Structure 1
């Protein structure tokens, strides 16, 4: 077997392990994740799971890093033309979630819950929260002449609000209603940033 094919097959196996793990966590929480359950759902042997990740904790770490990176990257690379469009984009990132993205968001909320009791994940989540606040503040500085300190505070308000929207959207996926509510929120933030 060629080296390229082995790499491709290895990446496919890793993705199956991660997808199975995300499904398990979204349904049972972090405590429900085990090598046996991953193996059963993915059709991959436990030894193969440990070959690719070393431990279930490593699977969790990779999932956590991937979800958080997937949240920060779009904010950092956003090129909206104006403040209203950028703030609308942030809301749409929650109330326009695909089914796969809903699973990831559900997993993120399980991580949040675990962070209340487990320092191992809390430090990483707080670091990523700071990265997201900074990324949003950097974007806001493109549209507002407010001081950096105020932009950081508004950015933290936005993150906290997005977390709440995400939780409620998972409970009740009425996109039209969330869009209306978010539009009101956008108006409030725009007035804060004038």
Structure 2
């Protein structure tokens, strides 16, 4: 992940992985058939890492859930920022790699369903509307994440996210 975050997917090689870990290249190929397989594992793990907390989160009300989603973007540890940076590299690769695009779209759909399921606990809107609002939330989270990596002003992001939460609460009433 460190290599991908710093050099992009194109910068990843068995030699760089081996050098970083202090192991031989053959050891990498023993565990993974190729560098592409390493990328697949990294990508799948990142996507699972993003979806699971949304599926399992228990919140007392809609506002707390929506604030939790924002915190998941702008209250990142350095390791989580690295993960998000790698995800952005995968987004870029999705433009040219159908396999990554398929993974990402599948995960996007899983995340939309996970958010809509959570929203259904707080809103009586039809499933179709909850799915649409969930997709809006995903798109907004993506934009916030990108901007937060560029400018980590957590106070400003919390204020802006609170405004966004008010708008979504109005949509969901």
Q: TM-score, normalised by structure 1?
A: 0.88
Partners of 2:108 and 2:53 in 1: how far apart?
14
Matched with 2:166 is 187
Correspondence list, 1:101-112, <5 A: 101-112=80-91
Long gaps (5+) in structure 2: none
- Over the residues paired in the alignment, what is the CA RMSD in angstroms? 0.5
Give the CA deviation at 1:26: 0.2
Partner residue in 2 for 1:123: 102
For residues 10-159 of structure 1, what are the structure 2 equivalents within 5 Å?
22-159=1-138
Q: Which has the higher contact order (CA 8 A, sep 6+)?
A: 2
Q: 1:68-110: per-residue Cα shift (whole Å, max 9, x none)? A: 0011000000100000000000000000000000000000000
User: 2 CA distance for matches of 1:124 and 1:59?
Assistant: 14
**Aligned-partner Cα distance in 2 for 1:110–1:79:** 31
1:52-79 Cα shifts (integer Å, max 9, x gaps) = 1121111101110110001100000010
Larger Rg: 1
Scaled by the length of structure 2, what TM-score is found?
0.99
Q: In the TM superposition, what whole-angstrom CA distance separates every residue of 1:106-130 from its partner, at most 9, and x where no partner exists? A: 0000000000111111011101000
* Cα distance in structure 1, aligned partners of 2:34 and 2:148: 32
SS of alignment partner, residue 164 of structure 1: helix
> Within 2, Cα distance between the matches of 1:65 and 1:86?
25
